[in-house]
Amino acid sequence: MIKTKNQYINREISWLMFNDRVLQESADKNVPLIERLRFLGIFSNNLDEFFKVRYATIKRIVLAGKKGKSALGGEKAKDLLAEITEIVINQQSKSLEIHGDIEKELESEGIYFINEREVSESQAKFVKNYFLEKVSPQLMTIVLNDLNQFPLLKDTEAYLAVKMVHKAKDIDENEKEIVEKRYALIEIPKGIDRFVVLPREGDKDYIIILDDLIRFCLARIFPMFEYEAISAHMIKITRDAELDIDNDLSKTFIEKISSSVQGRKISDPVRFVYDKSIARDTLEFLKGKMRIEDTDSVIPGGRYHNRRDYMDFPSLGRQDLMYDKITPLPVKGLSLEGSLLERIAEKDYLMYAPYHTFSYIIKFLREAALDPKVKSIKITVYRLAKNSQVAASLINAVKNGKKVTMQIELRARFDEQANIKYAEELQAEGVKLIFGVPGLKVHSKICVIEREEDDLIKRYGFISTGNFNESTAKIYTDYTLFTANAAILKEVKIVFDFFETTYKIYKYKHLVVSPHYTKSLFKKFIDNEIQSAKLGRDAYIKIKMNSFTSYEMVDKLYEASRAGVKIQLIIRGVCCLIPGVEGMSENIEAISIVDKFLEHPRVFIFGNEGNPKIYISSADWMTRNLDNRVEVGCPIYDEDIKQELIDTFEISWGDNVKARIFNGEQNNIYKKNEQPKLRSQFAIYDYYLNKINSKNREV
C-alpha cells in the first residue's frame, strides 16, 4: 500500500474530537436544559480521564527521551503534547461559553445560580447554618506559608487557593508599608453535594455552588488572621493513572494491584488547571511550590473546576427539562415469569439494553442459583455496579451448593479498588476467583452454567458486548445473546479452561477469541469480501464499534475499499481511519452517534455473498483488544436475530439527527440529508416496541 501523509488520524486527536461531540450535545438547544448541563459534566469527566491515561502515556514517552512516532501515528510525542494542550484550551473556552448560555436559559426557566456576592439577607441565614452544620466539619484547610513541604494534592480534586493580604504597621527602609501575604488551600469536600439548593422563593429556584458557599464563609474559616483582603480561586491537578505493578513474589495479585492503586496518589502531575482570574503572584507561588514548569500542561480555566459534578446536577423536580425516562421493554417471546432456561433451551434470544430490561441477566443467574439441577456457574466480570445484584446472585448460588467460578479483572481502569473489594467479599463467601492471565487483561463478557438433564450435562449461557452492570445498563447500549447452543457454549467453557491453564492455546470453530485468533479471523472475513468484489459480486462490510485504532486493521479495510468492497462504519469514539479518500478509502463511509445513551455494542456484519456472517463481540479493533486482552466474539446463527442486528444497524446508519460524519478535517459535521428526520436511539426503541405490539396483535 502507498503510504500517504494523511493515511491515519492520530488517536489522541481523534479522542479529543469525540469529546468535542459530547460538548456539542451540551450546546444543542434540542437537548433538554438539565441534560445539557450533564453533558458538560461528561465532557469534563472524559477530559480528566484522558489526561490521567493518554496524555500521561505520551508524557512518559517524552520524559524517556523517545520520539514515539510510530506509536503516535507519525507525530513526535513532544509536538503532540503541545497540540493536545492547544485543543484542550480551546475546548475549555468553548465549554465556558456554553455554560454561560445554559445559565441564561435556566434563568428563563426560573432557575438561578448565585455566587457569594449575590446571597440575599434571607438566604444568608440558611447558607451560614448549612456551612456550620454540614460543611465546616468536613473542611480540610492548610495554611501554606510556614510549611517545609507542600502538601500532596489529590488527583482531580478541586481546591480553593486562598490569599490573605495584610499591610503591616511597620515600614521598610524606603518608608514603604510592608505587605504581608498568607496563602492557604481549602479542599472542596467530596461528601457534600456540589450544588446546594437554597429555599425556594415564589416560583424561583436558587442554587449556590459549594465553592461559592465556602467563599461566602471565608471569615468563619480564618478568624485568627488579621487580613485586609481575602480571595479564593479554584485549582486542580491531574495525576498519571498508569498502574506500576511490582514484581514482589511474596505479595498476592490483589496486594500488588491495591499497592499500585495507592501509588496513583503520589504519581506525577500531568495537568494543572487554574482559574484564569487568579492573581499572578498567587499562581506563581503555587507553581513554584508544586514545581510545575511552563512546559507542563498548564491550562487556564473558569471560576469552577470539576465540572464532572454536573453529571449529578439535581433535577429540581423539573422533568420537563430532562429526557423522558423510557420503560425497558421485554424481549419478544422471553418472559420474566416462569423458567428462562426452558425458553432458552428452545431457541436463542437477543437482549439489547437499555431498550430491553437488564433484569433477564439477573433472572438467569437467580434461577441458576436455585435450580437443583444446576451444578456450576462460570462468569467473567470487568465492572460491577455499586450494589451489584450480579454479585449477590453468585453468592446466593454458592449458598445453594453450586460451584461458582468468577474471572474478575482487577486491572479494570478506575474500577480497581471496587473490584478488589468485590473479590475479597466473593472469595470470603466461597466463590472461586481467577485473577486473569499474565500479561493480558480479561475483557470478555461471558457466562456459562452446567445443568444435569437426563444424566447428561447441558449448558446454558450468555455472551455480551458490555459489562454485567445493572447501573450502566440503563445508559449504555449493549447486546447480550442468551443461548443453549452446545457448540458455542462448549467453546465458552474452553475459554475458562484457558484462564486456568494459560500455557495451552486452544482452537475454536465458532468463537472469535483474542489474543490468538480475532485479528486473523476478521482479516479472513475481509479477504472473503475482497475476493467477492474482485469477482464482480456484491460485497460489503458493516461494523459498529466504540473505537478503531489498529493501523493493521485500518490498512486491511483500505485494501478492501480499493477492491470495491462497500464499507459502513459506526464508531462512537476514536477512529484512526480516514474515509472517502480517492485511491485509498473512497468506498468507506463512517459516522459517530452521540446521543442520550452511550453507544457501546460491537457488531460485525460481512456480506458473505448473500448469506451474512454476523458476530457480536467484547472487542473493539484496537491493538490492546486484538493483541493484549482476552476477548470473545460470538457468531449469530439464529436467522431472526441476524435480521434484528441488521435492522438495528440500518436504523443507526440512517440517523440524520445525532450522527456526525468522520472525515479528514475532523470537524464533526452532522449527517444531513433529504430523508425524514430519524433519531436512531428513539427509532430503535420504537422498533422493539412495534415487535411487542405485533406479537400482542397476533395473540
For 3-30, write each residue's pLDDT tens digit: 345 799 999 999 999 999 999 999 999 9
pLDDT band at 698; cut points 50, 70, 90:
low
Q: What is the pTM of this model?
A: 0.88
In a shared domain, residues 408 and 451 = yes
Question: Strand, coil or helix: what is 316?
Answer: coil
Query: Please, what is the angle between helix 33-50 and helix 77-108, to 10°?
Result: 160
Helix axes of 680-698 and 639-653: crossing angle, nearest 10 degrees: 140
Decide if 326 is inside a domain.
no
Q: With contact defined as beta carbons under 8 Å apart, do 212 and 116 qualify? A: yes
81 domain residue, yes or no: yes
Catalytic annotation on 443? yes
> Is 441 a member of any domain?
yes
Per annotation, catalytic residue among 443, 510, 516, 600: 443
CA dihedral in degrees (342, 347, 353, 359; nearest 10)?
Answer: 0
> Once rounded to an integer, what is the mean pLDDT over residues 239-247?
57
In a domain, 424, yes or no: yes
**Closest of 565, 562, 564, 590 to residue 576, by C-alpha:** 590
What CATH number does residue 43 fall under?
3.30.1840.10
> Which grid coordinates are listed for 180?
504581608
Per-residue pLDDT tens digits for 263-320: 445 457 678 889 999 999 999 998 888 888 765 578 888 888 778 899 999 999 999 9
- CA–CA gap between residue 342 and residue 363 (Å, rounded): 13
Question: Is 606's pLDDT higher than 60?
Answer: yes
Does 421 share its domain with 475? Answer: yes
Q: Which segment, 5-14, 428-437, 614-623, is predicted with the most confidence on average?
A: 614-623
Pick from 75, 78, 46: which is nearest to 59 by CA? 78
Q: Work out the mean pLDDT of the chain and round it to a whole number.
A: 89
Q: Work out the average pLDDT over 441-455.
A: 95
pLDDT at 696: 59
Amino acid at 519: K
Together in a domain, 186 and 245:
yes
CA distance 435 to 426: 13
Q: How many C-beta atoms lie closer than 10 Å to residue 23's C-beta?
A: 24
Q: How are strands ordered across the β-sheet holding 229-239? A: 140-143, 177-187, 159-171, 229-239, 269-275, 298-301
Which residues, at least 6 apart from 15, have a Cβ–Cβ distance to it below 8 Å? Answer: 50, 54, 573, 574
For 583, the 3-state DSSP assignment is coil
Q: Are residues 479 and 563 in the same domain?
A: no
- Of the pLDDT bands very low, low, confident and very high (cuts 50, 70, 90), residue 171 is low
Rounded-to-integer distance, Cα 313 and Cα 321, Å: 12
Nearest residue to 265 via CA among 235, 239, 291: 239
Contact 461/489 with Cβ under 8 angstroms? yes
Regarding whether 491 and 516 lie in a shared domain, the answer is no
Give me the number of domains the chain comprises.
3
Judge if 267 and 118 occupy the same domain: yes
Q: What is the pLDDT of residues 639-663, one digit of tens each?
A: 999 999 999 999 999 999 999 999 9
CA 589-591-593 angle, 5° bins = 165
What is the C-alpha separation between 163 and 275, in angstroms, rounded? 14
Domain boundary residue, one of 451, 468, 496: 496
> 241 pLDDT exceeds 90?
no
Calpha distance 524→188 (Å, rounded): 55
Of residues 567 and 503, which shows the higher confidence score?
Answer: 567
- Check pLDDT > 70 for residue 74: no
Closest CA to 390 of 400, 399, 381, 403: 381
Q: Which pLDDT tens digit goes with each residue over 347-406? A: 999 999 999 999 999 999 999 999 999 999 999 998 888 889 999 999 999 999 999 999
Q: Is 415 helix (H, G, I), strand (E, B) or coil?
A: coil
Residue 335, domain member (yes or no): no
Judge if 431 and 528 occupy the same domain.
Answer: no
| pLDDT at 142 (0 to 100) | 93
310 and 355 share a domain? no
Q: What is the mean pLDDT of residues 145-165?
A: 88
pLDDT (0 to 100) of residue 699? 47
- End-of-domain residue from the set 444, 465, 496: 496
The C-alpha angle with vertex 15 and arms to 11 and 21, in degrees rounded to 5, equals: 145
Residue 633 is assigned to a structural domain of this protein:
yes
| pLDDT tens digits, 456-476 | 999 999 999 999 999 999 999
- What average pLDDT does range 430-441 have in this prediction? 86
Task: Find the helix packing angle between 518-534 and 551-563, rounded to 10°.
Answer: 10
Give one word for 662, left, alpha or beta, with left for phi > 0 and alpha for psi -120 to 50: beta
Q: C-alpha grid cell for residue 275?
A: 482559574
Same structural domain for residues 467 and 519? no
According to the model, what pLDDT value does residue 52 have?
81
Whether residue 297 is found in the same domain as residue 398: no
Q: List, for residues 85-94, the tens digit of each pLDDT value.
A: 899 989 989 9
Classify each residue of 444-472 as buried b or exposed e, where b means 16 or more C-beta atoms within 10 Å of its C-beta. bbbbbbbbeeeeeebbbbbbbbbbbbbeb
* Helix, strand or coil, per DSSP, at residue 408: strand
For residue 345, being part of any structural domain is answered with yes
Question: Residue 142: phi, psi to the nearest 5?
Answer: -130, 125
Q: Three-state DSSP class for 150?
A: coil
Both 355 and 479 in a single domain? yes
* CATH for 603: 3.30.870.10
Percent with pLDDT over 90 in the chain = 71
Q: Same domain, yes or no, for 491 and 521?
A: no
pLDDT 10s digits, 93-132: 999 999 999 999 999 999 999 999 999 999 999 999 999 9
Confidence of residue 439 (pLDDT cuts 50, 70, 90): confident
Domain that holds residue 647: 512-698
Q: What pLDDT score was predicted for residue 261?
A: 46
What 3 state SS string does 108-157 have? HCCEEEECCCCCCHHHHHHHHHHHHHHHHHHCEEEECCCCCCCCCCCCCC
Give the helix/strand (H/E) hosting 604: strand 603-606
Question: Which residues, at least 6 apart from 691, have a Cβ–Cβ distance to it below 8 Å?
Answer: 332
C-alpha cell at 579: 474515509
pLDDT beyond 70 at 555: yes
pLDDT at 500: 83
Domain assignment present for residue 411? The answer is yes
Residue at a domain's end among 291, 321, 351: 321
Strands 441-442, 432-434: parallel, antiparallel or unpaired by DSSP? unpaired
Residue 2 confidence (pLDDT): 34
- Of residues 696 and 13, which shows the higher confidence score? 13
Average pLDDT over residues 324-335: 94
